[in-house]
């Protein structure tokens, strides 16, 4: 248990202060066992991992004891090593099963009032997205998907990260006006009516719902131009009624941490460094409820989702473009992080990924709908008006309390060892 506390404390400090790829949460290893990861709604992202580490450390201690000391002190050794961790795991699994039974009862009740959310997955090659030679075809793909989505009369349509192949001037306040951005040319005709319900050649039906569109946006003043990785909430009339700017940017991909290196590093896009958004940005008001946004690998930061859930978000929209990773472990890992963000906070997660994996995930961390890697299409999910967790989760309300306790415990153990060594 000492080792588990020390590991949790170290992981908490590391994750809170450094850029990361989220491969270090041991809880993720149990993604196939929803009964186990339900405890994250209370313990947060570190709890299940601490139990896993305690069990493995206990097995290691017992193995060494068997090799070196034979059968002496087995009872006390079991009680102090494996015993507490196994009990916690059993209690967590039992409680998790009760939560899954609660899910079954909620679904069986079939809430009559629902809102439809449609998630687009255009599967456009990342290296063709901004290429002028592919603009017309890319616009046709997006127009076709949006036309299909509007046929379902959705309350909300989600586009992936940076879907629109031009920079959007946020001061205009609309997405159906002529492009005035820097050096990207005129937008394709199929994209001139984003938010107005376009279909092929502008003949689509009008949407009654909003669209959450991933785009590169910019603001210009006397001091210069600032570019953002943004999500723009567009009304049926084409007005931008809400916006979100990505808070955690990818080092050396969206910004250069050490500015003097910028002249030597040519991997940034033509817009140069992006500007991070403020931590406390307004939640987006939609027909499916209050929506918070994470863009791409922001889903790897549990504190962002917890912060938004604690201030009222019922849905977290994760707009991403995992096309960079092709058919590798990357898209699967990014999808899995969203499963844990959903159950940790007891929120719905709607994930729109350019090349996949797109999904609608319920507050128990189970997919309601999913579209696999490399597929083109859209998926819909019915979001009930009845909220199964109106108060969100214990973790959302109280934060990383377990990590704080482990930090104190690790400091206490260290102090005790220091005192003993001097005695």
Among candidate residues 384, 382, 357, 294, the one with its CA nearest the CA of residue 117: 382
Q: What pLDDT score does 16 carry?
A: 63
Burial bucket for residue 409 (CB in 10 Å: 0-12, 13-18, 19+): middle
Q: What pLDDT score does 312 carry?
A: 93
Q: What pLDDT score does 22 carry?
A: 54
Where the chain has pLDDT below 50, the residues are 176-205, 270
CA–CA dist 248, 262 (Å, integer)? 19
Fold of 114-385: Nitrilase/N-carbamoyl-D-aminoacid amidohydrolase (3.60.110)
Q: What pLDDT score does 177 carry?
A: 32
Tell me the CB-side half-sphere exposure of residue 108, using CA atoms within 13 A: 6
Helix (H) or strand (E) holding 91: helix 82-108
Q: What pLDDT score does 417 carry?
A: 78
| 3-state percent helix, strand, coil for the chain, nearest multiple of 5 | 45, 20, 35
Number of continuous H segments (helices) and E segments (strands) in the chain = 11, 13
Q: What pLDDT score does 336 carry?
A: 87
Q: What pLDDT score does 201 carry?
A: 32
Q: What pLDDT score does 180 carry?
A: 29
Burial bucket for residue 84 (CB in 10 Å: 0-12, 13-18, 19+): middle
CATH 3.60.110.10 in the chain, residue ranges: 114-385
For residues 144 and 150, the answer to whether their CB atoms sit within 8 Å is no
Q: What pLDDT score does 212 carry?
A: 93
């Amino acid at each position: 248990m000492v080792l588990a506390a020390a590991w949790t404390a170290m992981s908490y400090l590391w994750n809170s202060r450094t850029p990361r790829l989220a491969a270090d949460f041991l809880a993720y290893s149990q993604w196939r066992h929803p009964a186990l990861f339900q405890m994250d709604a209370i313990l947060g992202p570190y709890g299940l991992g601490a139990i896993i580490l305690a069990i493995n450390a206990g097995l290691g201690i017992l193995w060494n004891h068997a090799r070196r000391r034979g059968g002496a002190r087995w009872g006390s050794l079991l009680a102090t090593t494996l015993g507490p961790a196994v009990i916690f795991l059993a209690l967590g699994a039992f409680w998790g099963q009760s939560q899954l039974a609660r899910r079954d009862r909620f679904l069986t009740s079939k809430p009559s009032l629902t809102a439809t959310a449609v998630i687009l997955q255009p599967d456009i090659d990342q290296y063709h997205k901004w290429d002028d030679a592919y603009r017309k075809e890319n616009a046709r793909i997006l127009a076709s998907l949006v036309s299909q989505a509007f046929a379902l009369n959705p309350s909300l349509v989600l586009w992936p990260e940076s879907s629109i192949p031009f920079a959007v001037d946020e001061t205009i306040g609309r997405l159906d006006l002529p492009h005035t951005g820097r050096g990207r040319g005129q937008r394709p005709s199929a994209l001139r009516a984003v938010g107005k319900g376009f279909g092929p050649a502008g003949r689509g039906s009008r949407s009654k719902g909003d669209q959450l569109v991933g785009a590169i946006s910019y603001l210009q003043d006397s001091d210069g131009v600032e570019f953002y990785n943004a999500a723009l909430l567009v009304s049926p009339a084409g007005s931008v009624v809400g916006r979100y700017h990505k808070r955690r940017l990818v080092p050396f991909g969206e910004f250069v941490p050490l500015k003097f290196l910028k002249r030597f590093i040519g991997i940034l896009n033509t817009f140069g460094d992006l500007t991070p958004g403020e931590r406390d940005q307004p939640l987006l008001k939609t027909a499916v409820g209050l929506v918070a946004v994470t863009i791409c690998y922001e889903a790897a930061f549990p504190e962002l989702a917890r912060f938004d859930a604690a201030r009222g978000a019922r849905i977290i929209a994760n707009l991403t473009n995992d096309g960079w990773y092709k058919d590798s472990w990357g898209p699967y890992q990014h999808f899995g992080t969203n499963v844990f963000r959903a159950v940790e906070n007891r929120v719905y997660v709607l994930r729109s990924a350019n090349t996949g994996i797109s999904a609608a995930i319920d507050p128990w961390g189970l997919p309601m709908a999913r579209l696999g890697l490399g597929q083109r299409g859209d998926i819909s999910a019915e979001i009930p008006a009845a909220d199964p967790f109106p108060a969100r989760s214990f973790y959302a309300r109280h934060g990383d309390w377990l990590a704080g306790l482990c930090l104190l415990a690790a400091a206490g153990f260290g102090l005790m060892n220091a005192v003993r060594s001097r005695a």
